[in-house]
Amino acid sequence: MSLRTLETLGDLAGKRVVIRCDFNVPLSDGVITDDGRLRASLPTLNALLDAGARVVAISHLGRPKGEPDPQYSLKPVADRLAELLDRPVAFATDTVGDSARETAASLEDGQIAVLENLRFNAGETAKDDAERGAFAAQLAELADVMVSDGFGVVHRKQASVYDLAQQLPSAAGLLIAKELEVLDTLTESPVRPYTVVLGGSKVSDKLGVIDHLLPRVDRILIGGGMLFTFLAAQGHKVASSLLESDQIETAAGYIRAAEEGGVELVLPTDVVVASKFGADADHVVTAADAIEDSPFGASGLGLDIGPDTAAAFAEAVRGSKTVFWNGPMGVFELEPFAAGTKAVAQALTEVDGLSVVGGGDSAAAVRQLGFDDSAFGHISTGGGASLEFLEGKKLPGLEVLGWA
């Protein structure tokens, strides 16, 4: 089976198309602070609108409890989308109620509407198949065909992702098709040398992806909070740095497996250690095997990779033909501890080949640090979905579109 794409839906002029997007963007006081996911949806939305479709865009935002919650309204998304599309975007104040039905029915060819947050309805995330299916059936009444383009949710068996795609003729949008093309390259046909850079807070969040990619890569670079569990696995003390004690033996196993498999597993040689967690904390650079020898002793907190490590990681990245990066190298939100993440991001922009930023915190980091999306080969819109794909898992939102 192969992925059903837009072409399989035929002529969409005059058709009502419900499109599941991922508009789950960060908000601060009702203002969108990163519209990357909205911009990623534009190619598919424009393709549908240019084809004369009547587009009903649906999404979730945040984690409301199955009932309306004003702080999670998609109204700011509809307003921003109108600016990005340079055309009016109607907004329905509910998901499948009177407003949704009237708004969808009022659309003419080449017009678009956004419905209110799907998770205002408990049926969206229900574990009960019948409840989920019933909500999907109400959504299906609003359209003739369904396009799935929210890659960030394809690992979820939810009404708008899974059940709706079974109730209407359905296909993947351009964003999902692009994501799969890139991720398939990372797992099946990478150009070598192939380097994976892993960061973020926990080893336990990356177990599956390390297991699946270790036999497929030439080099793995370990940063972020998870580095301290690896250092502990080498017998080093890490003071009060983030440590998953129950994963030390697992990390040791990865170090052995990499050595046996001829994979270069690179750990930091120096780290930035702080007196406390905060932008105003005193901090020093110490050798990775001497963290407790810092002025802060056993209370020191490792919050970033050190400058020597950042330089070595950057050189390794630049010397690769394929790079996948998931997880910041330190607490990039705090300026004193952003240098490691910035060095890796900068190196990714200089790769002579395919550079992939693996969504989630990594995508947020490159934008917050001032990099343009176009500087990278691809920025994934799905952190969790990307990782699960790279773990080799079956994703229900893709399987229902024919991907196998």
pLDDT tens-digit series, residues 187-213: 999 999 999 999 998 889 898 889 999
How much is the pLDDT for 2?
87
Find out whether 158 and 147 touch, Cβ atoms under 8 Å: no
What is the set of active-site residues? 37, 202, 360, 384
- Look up residue 358 and give its amino acid: G
Look at residues 376, 274, 386, 402 and name the one whose alpha carbon lies nearest to residue 331: 274
- How far apart are the C-alpha atoms of 158 and 367, rounded to whole Å? 29
Q: What is the pTM of this model?
A: 0.90
How far apart are the C-alpha atoms of 251 and 27, rounded to whole Å?
36
- Judged against a pLDDT cut of 90, whether residue 124 lies above it is answered with yes
- Residue limits of CATH 3.40.50.1260 in the chain: 6-178, 190-391
Binding-site annotation, residues: 22-24, 37, 60-63, 119, 156, 206, 302, 333, 359-362
Taking the C-alpha atoms of residue 19 and residue 351, their distance in angstroms, rounded to an integer, is: 34
Instruction: Tell me the per-residue pLDDT of 15-27, one tens digit each, with 9 for 90 and over.
Output: 999 999 999 999 9
| pLDDT over threshold 80, residue 395 | yes
pLDDT for 1 equals 54
* Cα gap 166→164, rounded to integer Å: 5
Tens of pLDDT along 273-292?
999 999 999 999 999 999 99
Binding positions for ATP: 206, 302, 333, 359-362
Predicted local confidence at residue 252, as pLDDT: 97
Binding site residue list for substrate: 22-24, 37, 60-63, 119, 156
CATH 3.20.20.70 fits 190-391, yes or no: no
* Token output for 40: 């990623």
Tell me the binding residues for (2R)-3-phosphoglycerate. 37, 119, 156
Asked whether the beta carbons of 296 and 239 are under 8 A apart, the reply is yes
Interatomic CA distance for residues 91 and 98, integer angstroms: 12
CATH no., domain 6-178: 3.40.50.1260
Residues 30-51 have a mean pLDDT of 95
Question: Is 345:371 a contact under the CB 8 Å cutoff?
Answer: yes
What mean pLDDT, rounded, does the chain reach? 96
